[in-house]
A and B are shown apart, each in its own frame.
Chain A
Amino acid sequence: MVHWTAEEKQLIASVWGKVSVEECGAEALARLLIVYPWTQRFFSDFGNLSSPTAIIGNPKVRAHGKKVLTSFGDAIKNLENLKVTYSKLSELHCDKLHVDPENFRLLGDILIIVLAAHFTKDFTPACQATWQKLVGVVAHALAHKYH
Chain B
Amino acid sequence: MVLSAADKSNVKAAFGKIGGHAEEYGAETLERMFAAYPQTKTYFPHFDLAKGSAQVKGHGKKVAAALVEAANHIDDISGALSKLSDLHAQKLRVDPVNFKLLGQCFLVVVATHNPALLTPEVHASLDKFLCAVGTVLTAKYR
Number of contacting residues on A, CB 8 A? 24
| B108-125 interface with A by 8 A CB criterion | 108, 111-113, 115, 118, 120-121, 123-124
Task: Provide the bound-state CA to CA distance between A55 and B107, in Å.
Answer: 21
Is there a chain B Cβ closer than 8 Å to A56's Cβ?
yes
- B residues in contact with A119, CB < 8 Å: 112
Nearest A-chain residue to B127, judged by Cβ: A35
- B residues in contact with A117, CB < 8 Å: 111-112, 115, 118
| B25-67 interface with A by 8 A CB criterion | 28, 31-32, 35-37
| CB <8 Å contact, B120 and A30 | yes
Task: Provide the bound-state CA to CA distance between A73 and B32, in Å.
Answer: 25
Which residues of B approach A to under 8 Å, CB–CB?
Answer: 28, 31-32, 35-37, 104-105, 107-108, 111-113, 115, 118, 120-121, 123-124, 127
* Interface residues of chain B: helix, strand, loop or mixed (majority): helix
Is there a chain B Cβ closer than 8 Å to A118's Cβ?
yes
Which listed segment binds B: A13-21, A64-72, A82-90, A108-116? A108-116
| Total cross-chain contacts (CB, 8 A) | 63
* Interface residues of chain A: helix, strand, loop or mixed (majority): helix
Is there a chain B Cβ closer than 8 Å to A52's Cβ?
yes
Which listed segment binds B: A41-49, A93-101, A121-129, A138-146? A121-129
Contact flag A120-B113 (CB < 8 Å), given A112-B104, A113-B107, A126-B35 = yes
**Which among B36, B104, B120 is the interface contact of A31 at CB below 8 angstroms?**
B120
| CB <8 Å contact, A125 and B115 | no
**Which among B31, B118, B121, B123 is the interface contact of A125 at CB below 8 angstroms?**
B31
- B residues in contact with A133, CB < 8 Å: 36
Nearest B-chain residue to A118, judged by Cβ: B115
| CB <8 Å contact, A35 and B37 | no
| CB <8 Å contact, A125 and B36 | yes
Contact flag A113-B37 (CB < 8 Å), given A120-B112, A120-B115, A123-B112 = no
| CB <8 Å contact, A113 and B31 | no
| CB <8 Å contact, A116 and B104 | no
- B residues in contact with A121, CB < 8 Å: 112-113
Is there a chain B Cβ closer than 8 Å to A132's Cβ?
yes
Is there a chain B Cβ closer than 8 Å to A34's Cβ?
yes
Task: Provide the bound-state CA to CA distance between A146 and B127, in Å.
Answer: 29
- B residues in contact with A114, CB < 8 Å: 111
Task: Provide the bound-state CA to CA distance between A47 and B20, in Å.
Answer: 43
- A residues in contact with B112, CB < 8 Å: 116-117, 119-121, 123
- A residues in contact with B120, CB < 8 Å: 30-31, 34-35, 52, 55-56
State how many angstroms separate the Cβ of A7 from the closest Cβ of chain B.
Answer: 13
